[in-house]
Structure 1
């Protein structure tokens, strides 16, 4: 089975697009990458990345404008979708994850058991990303704001998709 290749684009590739990549890289049927449009981006958009992608999600209209201006031939015939997510969030911020899940769910098959991964990953004690989250994404254990020890309890946080 071929996987749909998705490219997420924001300005710096540090918070929004990287969060989207991390959410989608574990979902079967998709292969995800991310990049930024600015000079200081963690990974910059290239013709190669655009050529690789089957589907391109940008966070703001200015990102699609930059792609169309700088890489017109590379995005010719590609579907470029603007998610309209402002640069108001940090990497893996719960509100950003919730917004991304809701908006991406309109365009991608995202099974409930995979899309709601935060339900088992947020600490009841302080709201940090706990052991379930870090285990799933390969980073060990998370430490909470109110404690210097690893947390492993789940908050059962509900994520409403609208």
Structure 2
């Protein structure tokens, strides 16, 4: 688990590293679990806390899982 904060894991999984520049740029940041928020705060402190929304969705789904997409749509409302 890296919440995008571990470059090695991001490269292995083909995901985008969460950088301070991305956090500055974003209006909102959504994370699945509380532990993802904690991982981000470990690297950035409380600087971006107000932008981060914990969705309380267990991070157990495969990429593009239909059930995950449905949960995300319900929680985020896009």
TM-score, normalised with respect to structure 2: 0.76
2: CA distance, partners of 1:44 / 1:99: 23
2: CA distance, partners of 1:99 / 1:37: 24
Structure 1 consecutive aligned stretches of length 4 or more whose deviation exceeds 3 Å: none
- Structure with the largest fraction of helix: 2
- Count of matched residue pairs: 73
Structure showing greater Rg: 1
1: CA distance, partners of 2:22 / 2:71: 24
8 Å CA contact retained: 1:50, 1:74:
no
SS of residue in 2 equivalent to 1:40:
helix
Taking the TM superposition and a 5 Å limit, the aligned residue runs for 1:3-152 are 11=1, 36-38=4-6, 39-41=8-10, 42-72=15-45, 74-75=47-48, 78-105=50-77, 110=78
Who is 1:159 aligned against?
none
SS of residue in 2 equivalent to 1:81:
strand
Report the RMSD for the aligned CA atoms in angstroms: 2.0
Deviation per residue, 1:120-154 (Å, 9 max, x gap): xxxxxxxxxxxxxxxxxxxxxxxxxxxxxxxxxxx
Q: Which runs of 5+ in 2 are unaligned?
A: none
TM-score, normalised with respect to structure 1: 0.40
Q: Bigger relative contact order, structure 1 or 2, given CA contacts below 8 A and separation 6+? A: 2
- Structure with the largest fraction of strand: 1
1: CA distance, partners of 2:73 / 2:27: 19
Deviation per residue, 1:36-84 (Å, 9 max, x gap): 23341222111111011111111111111111121126415x3211011
